[in-house]
Amino acid sequence: MAYSQTFKDHLARPRNAGTLPDADAEAEPVNPVCGDRLRLALRLGGGRIEAVRFLAYGCPPTLACGSALAELLEGMTLEEAARVTRARVAEAAGGLPARRQHAAALAVEALREVLRLIQTRGEI
Amino acid sequence: MRRVYFDHSATTPVDRRVVEAMLPYLTERFGNPSSVHFYGQEARGAVDRARREVANLVGARPNEVVFLSGGTEANNLAIRGLCEQHAEQGRHVITSSIEHSSVRGICDALGRRDWEVTRLPVYDDGLVRVEDVRAALRPDTVLVTLMLANNEVGTVQPVAEVGALVRERRAGGQKLWLHTDAVQAAGGMRVDVDELGCDLLSLSAHKLYAPKGVGALYVRRGVRLAPQNIGGHQERERRGGTESVPLIVAFGEAARLTRMELEARVEHVARLRERFEAGVEARVADVVHNGDRTRRLPGVSNISFRFIEGEGLLINLDMQGVAVSTGSACSSGSLEPSPVIRALGRDDELARGSIRFSLGKDTTEAEVDYVLEVLPRAVETLRRLSPLYQKAQAERAGAPA
């Protein structure tokens, strides 16, 4: 399976990997079929996403999508973040093989869950 | 970038001496072995010499060797050929749960065609038990197919003991035969068809420093098979089609070199593997070795790295020039952890985190050391990303000392 250079770069130098102790919200959805998991944590400041961290376990597309999403989100407003799609994550990850698109779905699921938590808490 | 090939179980580089041997048969010695004239007889002579070399490698007679396209075709001719030929005698086959995918696929196909297949388990050492074979034998069992050495973990199965069992049943009048897939084993251990007591044995040249596209099936004298490739008289009616003379010549030379150099190759890769495994243990925590560490091929090391997934590690290593393999795959969101590692009783996480390192006759100490330099960093990169690792670390930090 051929992966792009961008994709491989995400694996070798993951962006914003780690934990965020002072996160405003954090979610860790799991793909029930394959067990892949992606933890996403955001901290807000000045109406924007000030800090993002991710952790991921699973196949390379899941790791690359976590890294790509964490890079994309930094500096976005919550409205902009809400408009991030699977296709945009996949593109930022350097493209995904046809049968690995589910990795982008898991990343967007993590994002939606975090945004929902923030809205629920009225921190918007 | 420096490149290190640690995937000799997948395929081996072609030995220069093998290339030299085959080259004339790609150019001026182009005859068809079935032709009566000089060109044909020149090619026939080369095929006959290669047949003797391949026979010598496994202690067989030349006319017991059928050349074909490789291991998968050998397994097809052996298993389907035997079962179809002897369907009247019985329709029960015994195999193991860790066979190569070609044998698994063939047995699955037989299962859809009114044959019954018993798939024996392996234990956490990756080995089949002879007692399990004995217990699975039935009066209508016609074939036991058990690989000689496993392709993922390298464990060497008790084929000789099963061979003795099969002979014992045959002496009692049962029509029963034994096939062994020796594709992985042939380059890493002495293989002798009489010592094994097998009736059919599959070989592939590209695991022995020859090109891809050629292999052989050993068929013990007197064993009848339904040919799977019909329409030609080649290979004593057992495999129709003009022989690939250059590839067969290459196989013959590779078999000769393997026989001559086997002892030195085994000693060399065993020593390097020991250096490699000791290095991994010293540098990387939370690893699990897969398969019995004494009854296995000398050049194979299969290790599960906890908290991470194999393909990510494979890609990280590849980016640093190190080629390895993993038995796990993920597609369309459905996880397919290595069936072999799962059969060893490992959980999904360990099965997903398994990597096969396979060393070859030309692997050097410096290459082992280079892998030992880059591997811990690659594992660390992925573990820093892993929520499973972070959780385990937090638990360890919170646990009483």
Q: Crossing angle, helix B310-319 and helix B365-385, to 10 degrees?
A: 130
Lowest-confidence pick of A38-47, A113-122, B86-95:
A113-122
pLDDT for B338 equals 80
CATH class as words, domain B16-258: alpha beta
Does residue B155 surpass a pLDDT of 80? yes
Quick one: which of B190, B215, B214, B193 has its CA closest to B202? B215
Q: Summarize the confidence of residues B366-391 as an average pLDDT.
A: 96
Confidence band for B316, pLDDT divided at 50, 70 and 90: very high
Q: In percent, how much of chain B has pLDDT > 90? A: 91
pLDDT for B159 equals 98
Which of the residues of B are catalytic?
330
Q: What is the CATH number of the domain that holds A100?
A: 3.90.1010.10
Q: How far apart are CA B74 and CA B266, in angstroms?
A: 25
Q: Per CATH, which fold does B4-9+262-398 belong to?
A: Aspartate Aminotransferase, domain 1 (3.90.1150)
Instruction: Say whether B312 and A19 touch across the interface (CB within 8 A).
Output: no
Does residue B161 surpass a pLDDT of 80? yes
Q: How far apart are CA B46 and CA B370, in angstroms?
A: 42
Does residue B66 surpass a pLDDT of 50? yes
Model pLDDT for residues A42-63, shown as the tens digit of each residue:
999 998 999 999 999 999 999 9
pTM for the complete prediction? 0.94
User: Mean pLDDT score of chain B, rounded to an integer?
Assistant: 95
Q: For chain A, positions 49-68, list CB contacts with chain B under 8 A.
A: 54-60, 63, 66
Instruction: Say whether A63 and B385 touch across the interface (CB within 8 A).
Output: yes
pLDDT for B400 equals 56
User: Which range marks the domain in which residue A104 is found?
Assistant: 5-120
Distance from CA of A16 to the nearest CA of B (A): 10
What pairing do the DSSP bridges indicate for beta strands B4-5 and B322-323? Answer: parallel
Would you say the C-alpha torsion B96, B295, B171, B75 has a positive or negative sign? positive
Using a CB–CB cutoff of 8 Å, tell me whether A17 touches chain B: yes
Does residue B224 surpass a pLDDT of 50? yes
Q: How far apart are CA A76 and CA A43, in angstroms?
A: 11
Instruction: Say whether A33 and B348 touch across the interface (CB within 8 A).
Output: no
This complex has an ipTM of 0.91
CB B151 within 8 A of CB B9: yes
pLDDT for A124 equals 45
| Count of structural domains within chain A | 1
Confidence band for A10, pLDDT divided at 50, 70 and 90: very high
Q: How far apart are CA B343 and CA B306, in angstroms?
A: 18
Instruction: Say whether B330 and A100 touch across the interface (CB within 8 A).
Output: yes
Using a CB–CB cutoff of 8 Å, tell me whether B316 touches chain A: yes
Distance from CA of B348 to the nearest CA of A (A): 9
Does residue B331 surpass a pLDDT of 90? no
**C-alpha pair distances (Å), B300 with each of B99, B155, B266, B284, B289:** 16, 9, 11, 18, 11
Domain ranges of chain B: 4-9+262-398, 16-258
